[in-house]
Structure 1
Amino acid sequence: MISINRDRLVDHFISLVKIDSESGNELAIASTLDKELTALGFEVTALPVPSDISNGFNIYAKLAGKLDGSVVVSAHMDTVAPGQSIEPIIEDGIIRSKGNTILGGDDKSGIAAIMEAVRILQANNLEHQTLELAFTVYEEGGLHGSKHYDMSKIESQQAIVLDSGGPIGTIITTAPGQQNLKVTITGKPAHAGLAPETGINALTVAADAIAQMNLSRIDEETTANIGVVRGGEATNVVMPSLYIEAEARSLNDQKLAEQVDHMVATFEKAASCHGAEIDIESSRSYNAFRIEHNHPFIQKLMKSFTALDIEPLLASTGGGSDANIFNEKGLVTANLSTGMAKVHTTEEYIAIDDMEKITQFLTSYLSKS
């Protein structure tokens, strides 16, 4: 088994998480990775994205190999908030932030593992498959970078996204589609003390609808949530309007459509009963994907983990990732765990052993055709 340079892996990861890169502000991290990849011998292309998406750019990088086969390996460069001025702390083999920010292992642990694997291959003069990298901006909160990724650069037929938690060896083969609802309820203002009965309270309409709506865990494949509510300006005014953002997710497209139809119909019925107006904007954020377990690519991933005495775990997830978008665009893409834990919270952490294991996997996978 090829040994991993543990200190170099950790040092590089630490340097990456110290670069501020909350979603939409990826210029610094993208520019840093452009230079680092070029120094490793990659042919690097900065792929522009709309300026309202990011001040940075997507990255395509290619390192030609001598072995048969090629693969895309992908990670996103952005983090959620609070992700400014991250101060990593290492304790007993665990890396975490000092507690006032996220760590940024989502997804810089993936980036660090990819680049350390390449350094190991080169240091040991190991022949490898052709490696294509797809680093994306603004994955969090919409998968915007992958939606705008220039797929004409991609030559491979399959891809690995490193953007999941769980034990090393976890292979996400199924992920849900997501539909977003933006709802504006327009009632009628009135003085809350003098003539409240002449008004139509938009909050009452919303409360009526939500009370009758199936939300949270619908079944083993489907969830729904009300996430944003904004309205009202004063206690002495019957609330004239209310804005709501909601979502539904499901591994099953039919179930997703039925859940969305139910939510829309429930909002519309409540508005009609109270005499309010309602506007609902429904949009698909991303589609579900499912890769059969007997697919040759999945079987190869499993075999590579097994060869390292790591148990492969085929799993589904309730979250979306760039894998959803790449699969939709025709690139067979599995999402693998890097060991990241408690992501999107200030308690986020990652074990160095897990970072080492996923780096070992990548090194092994790339050096075997």
Structure 2
Amino acid sequence: MNSTRLVDQFMEMVQIDSETGNEREIADYLLNLFKNLDVEVFEDDTADQTGYGAGNIFVKAEGDADAAPVYFTVHMDTVTPGVGIKPSIKDGYIVSDGTTILGSDDKAGIAAIIEALRTIEDDNIPHGDIEVVITIGEESGLVGAKAFDTSVLNSKFGYALDSTGKVGTVVSQAPTQSKVEAHIYGKTAHAGVEPEAGVSAITIASKAVSKMNLGRVDAETTANVGRIEGGGPTNVVTDYVYLLAEARSFTPERLNAQVEHMTAAFKEAASELGGRAEVNTELMYDALNVAHDSEVAQTVNTALNNIGRDIDFISLGGGSDGNVFHGKGIETVVLGIGYEDIHTTKEKMPVEELEKAAELVVEIAKVQYDK
């Protein structure tokens, strides 16, 4: 492992602007970098489908055909503000100048994989096929992962390097999520002269939301109304309101029950008050539930022990590309890589955790080969 090379790689990448939807520059950089390594690399054609700045990148380091392959996934896009990042090292942490994010989510994951592949090549470490998917649009709805054609993957399981927590943290459970979109229609009227002739869409929406179980619904389920739009002058009864909400749960049955409850609340309130509700729901991603004695979990457990870290299985309330790939039939857990305060201008990346993340990727490949 070459720590200086790893840190330099990370700091170089975070200075390439790649806010979600604008991934062209970082994609070109990565394609050129991987073409100079002993790997196969290509960009898929999903940019036309997604409308994003680039397609996903697939990398394959061919190994012993008799060894089972393993895959890793990371994403190349960042949240905002992510333009003009100026990294530096302070007290063992890589940080930005405080005016932008750092971009360790998820360029730390990319850097760890690049260094791992270089180390495997430099040291002639035996391995099976190592497959890597670098997605676009993760931060804006797991767009790239959803569009990616997993038929190119031969791996039965793998790892998303994209979670908080020190190296050793393993997300084995994450929720499924649905969006709930409601269009509420009332009837306009003069609010001062003839209010009884109108039906307020705002009143319908308010009554519906007041009837909903929101927040922490139960031990496995959460729900939230995130946006309400509509209205106009105070002397006009509002005849249209738009709401956007979500529900999450670790089990599909409870998610479906919560979505049905929220849909019914909109429709019942509209019916009671003489309006109309159109409710659209969309499953955003499947749940991730992986047994601790599964092959994917035990492989990383062995690898962590080999690099001097203990495994810490956790449940996480957010989704990731790992949910998408797991939902497509490729068993996946999400690995903590140590970044801190992500999605803020206080974001920082411990150099020690960056090194351990790269070391873990190498060790997973070795454990998989030795089976």
- TM-score bucket of the superposed structures, by smaller chain: over 0.9
Query: Deviation of residue 42 (structure 1)?
Result: 1.2
CA distance in 1, matches of 2:97, 2:205: 40
- Summarize the alignment of residues 253-292 of structure 1 with structure 2, pairs less than 5 Å apart: 253-292=252-291
CA distance in 2, matches of 1:41, 1:192: 72
Q: Which residue of 2 aligns with 1:116?
A: 115
Query: Deviation of residue 197 (structure 1)?
Result: 3.4
Query: Deviation of residue 81 (structure 1)?
Result: 2.0
* Counterpart residue type for residue 206 of structure 1: A
* 1:339 aligned onto 2:335: no
Q: Secondary structure at the match of 1:41?
A: coil
Deviations 1:155-189 (A, max 9, x none): 11111110111121111111111111111111122
* Counterpart residue type for residue 254 of structure 1: E
Q: Which residue of 1 aligns with 2:57?
A: 59
Q: Secondary structure at the match of 1:297?
A: helix
TM-score of the aligned structures, taking structure 2 as reference length: 0.94
Describe the shift of the 1:242–1:65 C-alpha distance in structure 2 as closer, same or farther (beyond 3 A): same
Aligned partner of 1:49 among 33, 46, 49: 46
Identity of aligned residues (%): 40
Are the equivalent residues in 1 in contact too, given 2:77–2:138 (CA < 8 A)? yes
Q: Which residue of 2 aligns with 1:31?
A: 28
Describe the shift of the 1:101–1:230 C-alpha distance in structure 2 as closer, same or farther (beyond 3 A): farther
* 1:9 aligned onto 2:2: no
* Counterpart residue type for residue 62 of structure 1: K
Q: Secondary structure at the match of 1:214?
A: coil
CA distance in 1, matches of 2:41, 2:312: 33
- Summarize the alignment of residues 143-222 of structure 1 with structure 2, pairs less than 5 Å apart: 143-222=142-221
Q: Which residue of 1 aligns with 2:93?
A: 94
Q: Which residue of 1 aligns with 2:296?
A: 297
Q: Which residue of 2 aligns with 1:104?
A: 103
CA distance in 1, matches of 2:244, 2:99: 28
Taking only aligned residues, the RMSD between alpha carbons, in angstroms, comes to 1.6
* Counterpart residue type for residue 110 of structure 1: G
Q: Structure 1 regions of 5+ residues with no counterpart?
A: none
Describe the shift of the 1:98–1:274 C-alpha distance in structure 2 as closer, same or farther (beyond 3 A): farther
Query: Deviation of residue 138 (structure 1)?
Result: 0.8
Deviations 1:77-130 (A, max 9, x none): 111222222222322112232223222111111001100111222222322232
Query: Deviation of residue 233 (structure 1)?
Result: 3.2
Q: Which residue of 2 aligns with 1:141?
A: 140
CA distance in 1, matches of 2:55, 2:273: 48
Are the equivalent residues in 1 in contact too, given 2:296–2:332 (CA < 8 A)? no
Q: Which residue of 2 aligns with 1:325?
A: 324
Give the count of matched residue pairs: 366
CA distance in 2, matches of 1:344, 1:232: 32
Are the equivalent residues in 1 in contact too, given 2:158–2:296 (CA < 8 A)? no
Q: Secondary structure at the match of 1:245?
A: strand
Are the equivalent residues in 2 in contact too, given 1:53–1:138 (CA < 8 A)? no
Are the equivalent residues in 1 in contact too, given 2:95–2:349 (CA < 8 A)? yes
CA distance in 1, matches of 2:240, 2:100: 35
Q: Secondary structure at the match of 2:346?
A: coil
CA distance in 1, matches of 2:5, 2:195: 67
CA distance in 1, matches of 2:229, 2:60: 46
* Counterpart residue type for residue 64 of structure 1: E
Query: Deviation of residue 297 (structure 1)?
Result: 2.2
Stretch moving more, 30-39 or 97-106 = 97-106
Describe the shift of the 1:227–1:39 C-alpha distance in structure 2 as closer, same or farther (beyond 3 A): same
Q: Secondary structure at the match of 1:95?
A: strand
Are the equivalent residues in 2 in contact too, given 1:162–1:337 (CA < 8 A)? yes
Q: Secondary structure at the match of 1:279?
A: strand
CA distance in 2, matches of 1:195, 1:342: 53
Deviations 1:316-355 (A, max 9, x none): 1111111111112111111101112222223322211111
TM-score of the aligned structures, taking structure 1 as reference length: 0.95
CA distance in 2, matches of 1:69, 1:60: 18
* Counterpart residue type for residue 96 of structure 2: S
Stretch moving more, 344-353 or 241-250 = 344-353
Are the equivalent residues in 2 in contact too, given 1:53–1:144 (CA < 8 A)? no
CA distance in 2, matches of 1:271, 1:27: 46
CA distance in 1, matches of 2:76, 2:183: 33
Deviations 1:252-271 (A, max 9, x none): 11111111111111111111
CA distance in 1, matches of 2:189, 2:88: 55
